[in-house]
Homo-oligomer: A and B are copies of this chain.
Amino acid sequence: MKELAKELNVSVATVSKAMRDSHEISEQTKKKVLEAAARLNYTLNPYASSLRKRQSKTIALVLPEVADNFFSLAINGIQSVAERKGYHVLIYLSHEKFLNEVSILSECSSGRVDGVLISISSETTSAEHILKLQRENIPIVFFDREFEGLRIARVVTNDFECGYNAAIHLINNGCTNPVFLSISTSLGICNKRAEGFKAALLEMKAGDIENAVVVCKGTSGDEYSQIKKLLTGKNRPDGIVASVERLAMTVYLMSHETGISIPNQLKVVVFSTLETAPILNPPLTTITQPAFEIGKAAAELLFKGIEKKGYNLADEYVELPSVLTERMSSRNS
């Protein structure tokens, strides 16, 4: 910058202002500076600016995993608004581990990012690491997977209702023993879906409420054996609502392997944005979350919190509806 200033016989302050299109600089000088900068291949050093301005123009995106269509689509939504706002996105993966999440969030302090978008891991049962960040006045928005009971902004879908609808749908299609497949007992999103599911059973006087929710924990290998046990054991369910994409994939693989026929012996519904749902064998009934929109809304909320100082994000709550798309996997034969 010094060089540039010398080259043009102006001060560094002038260059600085011109580079950022300040209105205190004449159009003429601006043009001169910008041209010279382009010629010399000069751009502002972002970290020097960050240090001085005390803002990083960067947000953190914390995901449990990325090999799930929902999160891929959400990244698109988030990225699109970040880009428009001139912000950069740091991506972090917790791999569903609480300890990873803790260390990721600790990296977010000290001004590394101006805000955090997070979908919590299935293991997370304590929120101290999140609250710590909030105490540093870093805006935080939960999307999809929130930590319940906190005064933190969140963008979610109508989980209870969808769980309810899924159960009703299965019952109406002849299931007498439907089961909800969860991945966590602490994840609000799973619990709400499960609650809705159970509420429907109760209302319809159907199924076995005591055993209606099955939690698959651990690695995907564990998941497989747990599901296999469930589907081949006695009192095996004739309907499944899978809380996440991965579980439905496992159910399908197993049905192909064991010869359990979908939908004849087992009907399946899944919470997922899977694009291949209509071309699966059989086509899979999904409850599709508006993933892109959830990401977008969460990012927009976050930027409101970042840009409008004094704006209190804490109680913001956005709920975007998911839709159940009926396909062969849950149809009454």
Which residues of A does B touch, CB under 8 Å? Answer: 41, 43-48, 50-51, 56, 58, 61, 65-67, 69, 72-73, 75-76, 79, 88-93, 106-107, 109-112, 132, 136, 249, 252-253, 256, 274-276, 278-283
A89: which B residues are within 8 A, CB to CB? 90-92
Pick from B61, B67, B92, B279: contact of A72, CB below 8 A. Answer: B67
Closest-CB distance, A72 to chain B (whole angstroms): 5
* Contact indicator B79/A75 (Cβ below 8 Å): no
Pick from B47, B93, B275, B281: contact of A279, CB below 8 A. Answer: B281
* Contact indicator A91/B79 (Cβ below 8 Å): yes
Closest-CB distance, A15 to chain B (whole angstroms): 14
Closest-CB distance, A250 to chain B (whole angstroms): 10
Closest-CB distance, A160 to chain B (whole angstroms): 28
Q: A280-B280, A281-B282 are in contact. List 5 more A-B contacts (CB 8 A).
A: A41-B136, A45-B110, A67-B72, A91-B91, A276-B280
A75: which B residues are within 8 A, CB to CB? 66, 91, 93
Pick from B47, B249, B280: contact of A50, CB below 8 A. Answer: B47
A253: which B residues are within 8 A, CB to CB? 278-279
**Contact (A67, B73) CB under 8 Å given A46-B110, A79-B93, A282-B281:** yes
Closest-CB distance, A263 to chain B (whole angstroms): 14
A76: which B residues are within 8 A, CB to CB? 65-67, 93
A-B pairs with the 4 shortest C-beta distances? A281-B281, A47-B50, A47-B47, A43-B110
The answer for the CA separation of A281 and B283 in the assembled complex, in Å, is 8
The answer for the CA separation of A58 and B91 in the assembled complex, in Å, is 11
* Contact indicator A276/B278 (Cβ below 8 Å): no
* Contact indicator A43/B106 (Cβ below 8 Å): yes
A91: which B residues are within 8 A, CB to CB? 61, 75, 79, 89-91
The answer for the CA separation of A258 and B67 in the assembled complex, in Å, is 31
**26 A-B contact pairs sorted by A residue (CB < 8 Å):** A41-B132, A43-B109, A43-B110, A45-B110, A45-B111, A47-B47, A58-B90, A65-B76, A66-B66, A67-B69, A67-B275, A75-B91, A79-B92, A79-B93, A88-B90, A88-B112, A89-B90, A89-B92, A90-B90, A90-B91, A249-B275, A252-B279, A253-B278, A253-B279, A274-B276, A281-B281
Closest chain B residue to A65, Cβ basis:
B76
Closest chain B residue to A282, Cβ basis:
B281
Closest-CB distance, A280 to chain B (whole angstroms): 6
The answer for the CA separation of A119 and B329 in the assembled complex, in Å, is 37
Pick from B88, B90, B110: contact of A107, CB below 8 A. Answer: B88
Closest-CB distance, A320 to chain B (whole angstroms): 19
Closest-CB distance, A100 to chain B (whole angstroms): 9
The answer for the CA separation of A109 and B256 in the assembled complex, in Å, is 51
Closest-CB distance, A14 to chain B (whole angstroms): 19
A281: which B residues are within 8 A, CB to CB? 279-283
The answer for the CA separation of A109 and B88 in the assembled complex, in Å, is 14
